[in-house]
């Protein structure tokens, strides 16, 4: 049996801020606004991966505490061509990097930064062939 990614689903405190981040900062494409049950939401295409966004439902407690590891979601990894250029651009927009660009054992590079609601984003530059 084959399994393929259908979507990622993120809960956010500010829908407009998250849409702006995924489209204007990361280059995603806004698809539509929609409801997820009673919660307002949106769909973004990020490099071919559908991202479903929604705000918290009434009575739902969302902490967004990324200061400690938990089971489940940890981060989103994005492949980039020039990690150093992305790092400079995002630092210029005041994003906080938790790990500066680092050379990986295979000769590539990686860095981690915090997006809205402290979602962890990893940037990955594959090694030159």
pTM here? 0.84
Q: Which residues pair with 70 in a beta bridge?
A: none
The model's pLDDT over 26-80, given as tens digits with 9 standing for 90+, comes to: 999 999 999 988 899 999 999 999 999 999 888 877 776 666 656 567 789 999 9
C-alpha dihedral over 96, 25, 91, 7, to 10 degrees?
40
Query: Which domains does the chain carry?
Result: 1-57 (3.10.180.10), 74-129 (3.10.180.10)
**Cα–Cα dist 116/129, whole Å:** 34
């Amino acid at each position: 049996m084959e399994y393929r990614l259908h979507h990622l689903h993120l809960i956010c405190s500010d829908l407009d801020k998250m849409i702006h981040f995924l489209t204007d900062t990361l280059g995603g494409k806004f698809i539509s606004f929609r409801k997820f049950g009673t919660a307002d939401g949106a769909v973004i295409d990020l490099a071919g991966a559908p991202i479903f966004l929604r705000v918290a439902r009434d009575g739902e407690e969302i902490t967004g505490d990324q200061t400690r590891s938990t089971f489940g979601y940890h981060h989103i990894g994005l492949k980039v061509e020039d990690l150093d250029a992305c790092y400079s651009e995002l630092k210029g927009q005041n994003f906080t990097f938790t790990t500066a660009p680092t050379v990986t054992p295979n000769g590539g590079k990686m860095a981690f930064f915090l997006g809205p609601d402290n979602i962890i984003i990893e940037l990955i530059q594959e090694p030159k062939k």
